[in-house]
Structure 1
Amino acid sequence: MIAFIFADLLILPILNIHRQYYGARMAAFLLVTFFAAMAFAGYVVEFALGVLARRRSGDAADDGRLTRTL
């Protein structure tokens, strides 16, 4: 989790460097691309963890034992 936060903090300096070399138009394009990639990755992780949580809670209910699940 911390790695994702620190990785997001690197985006702004990278965009600033690209803006200096390639201009504001390219930096804006990269901003939109980075945002879309991060949002898509977030949805993929949320979906994957949701599927795992539902699958795990279903297994605990099927065997009749009370188990501690996340």
Structure 2
Amino acid sequence: MATLDSASESLSGEGTRNVPRSACSSEISILGDFNVHHEFWLSSPFTDHPGELAFIFSILHDLEQLVQHPACFPDRL
């Protein structure tokens, strides 16, 4: 039985190209309106449970918030 060498073969048996790690981008941006609230984010007046989970996730994964002001647009002037 042959073993799979992940550096040189794929599961289909075809050869794969080795890409140096320095050629891979390590910057990922996660964008969206997640509708979670935490008192440390954009002066939210309260923290909800999803906000606490998102806050812990962001700390564990060394994420930073890029938006510095609420992005609310009123539907009336």
**TM-score after normalising by structure 1:** 0.29
Rg comparison, structure with higher value: 2
**TM-score after normalising by structure 2:** 0.27
Q: Which has the higher helix share?
A: 1
